[in-house]
């Protein structure tokens, strides 16, 4: 089985292992019994990624995570953002992780694919392509009228698609399939690069 297929199978297994409602048991103090309780899934945590984790930031955005990424920001600025906005600082820098304390997380693995798997497992991020967050700039992607994108998409795309979405921050236009196709193409490229 090619490496790409194994990773895809891993992601599918991971998604299936996390149900929308997770059963647990709670003690009912009124009648001294254990009863089944259901907890709602938590929204994915918000992250800030350091300069060494740009590809990881883009992937987490594709999975619907809010990830602040600025490849020109100093460590002190990233730490300030993490603390003020209650984000988890993802870093490969041990000293920065120590300075961040509970607000930081040292990404232990190397290579984008391994880092994706590590963060998915550690923070229970669902590897599902949502398309609500722009992978380029972390802006909100919202539905827009078809007529508003006529000049911004290829003619064939305009003729064959009816639903479009645009990033409110950078203006990039998306349509059905582009997020997933882009992600799958990039994942295949990353996997091929890591084989070399």
How does pLDDT run across 105-142, given as a tens digit for each residue?
A: 999 999 988 898 899 889 988 766 667 888 889 999 99
- Residue 147 falls inside a structural domain: yes
CA-based nearest residue to 187, from 119, 117, 134: 117
- Res 130: pLDDT: 65
Beta carbons of 47 and 67 less than 8 angstroms apart? yes
- Residue 177 falls inside a structural domain: yes
Burial-class residue 106 by CB neighbours within 10 Å (0-12, 13-18, 19+). middle
CATH number at residue 170: 2.20.25
- Residue 163 falls inside a structural domain: yes
- Residue 44 falls inside a structural domain: no
- Res 37: pLDDT: 45
- Res 124: pLDDT: 84
Judged by DSSP in three states, 91 sits in strand
- Residue 156 falls inside a structural domain: yes
- φ and ψ at residue 37, rounded to 5 degrees: -120, 150
- Res 113: pLDDT: 84
* Total Cβ atoms within 10 A of residue 87: 19
**pLDDT tens per residue across all 196 residues of the chain:** 445 455 555 555 444 444 333 344 444 444 444 444 444 456 678 999 999 999 999 989 888 889 999 999 999 999 999 999 999 999 999 999 999 999 999 999 999 888 988 998 899 887 666 678 888 899 999 999 999 999 999 999 899 999 999 999 999 998 876 556 666 666 666 556 655 5
How far apart are the C-alpha atoms of 95 and 108, rounded to whole Å?
Answer: 13
Terminal Cα distance for the chain, rounded = 17
- Res 78: pLDDT: 97
- Residue 81 falls inside a structural domain: no
- Residue 115 falls inside a structural domain: no
CA-based nearest residue to 118, from 71, 53, 64, 66: 53
* Structure tokens belonging to residue 195: 């084989």
- Residue 4 falls inside a structural domain: no
- Give how many domains the chain has, as a whole number: 1
142 is in which domain, residue-wise? 129-181
């Amino acid at each position: 089985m090619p490496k790409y297929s194994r990773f895809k199978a891993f992601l599918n297994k991971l998604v299936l292992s996390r149900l929308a409602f997770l059963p647990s048991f709670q003690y009912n103090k009124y009648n001294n019994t254990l009863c089944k309780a259901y907890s709602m899934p938590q929204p994915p945590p918000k992250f800030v990624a350091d300069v060494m984790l740009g590809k990881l930031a883009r992937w987490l955005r594709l999975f619907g995570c809010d990830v602040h990424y600025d490849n020109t920001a100093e460590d002190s600025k990233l730490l300030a953002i993490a603390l003020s906005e209650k984000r988890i600082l993802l870093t490969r820098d041990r000293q920065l992780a120590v300075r961040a304390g509970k607000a930081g997380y040292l990404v232990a693995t190397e290579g984008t694919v391994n880092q994706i798997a590590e963060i998915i497992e550690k923070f229970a991020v669902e590897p599902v392509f949502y398309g609500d967050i722009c992978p380029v700039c972390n802006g909100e992607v919202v539905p827009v009228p078809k007529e508003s994108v006529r000049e911004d998409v290829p003619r064939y795309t305009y003729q064959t698609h009816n639903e479009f979405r645009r990033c409110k921050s950078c203006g990039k236009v998306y349509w059905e399939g582009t997020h997933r196709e882009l992600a799958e193409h990039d994942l295949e490229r990353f996997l091929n690069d890591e084989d070399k």
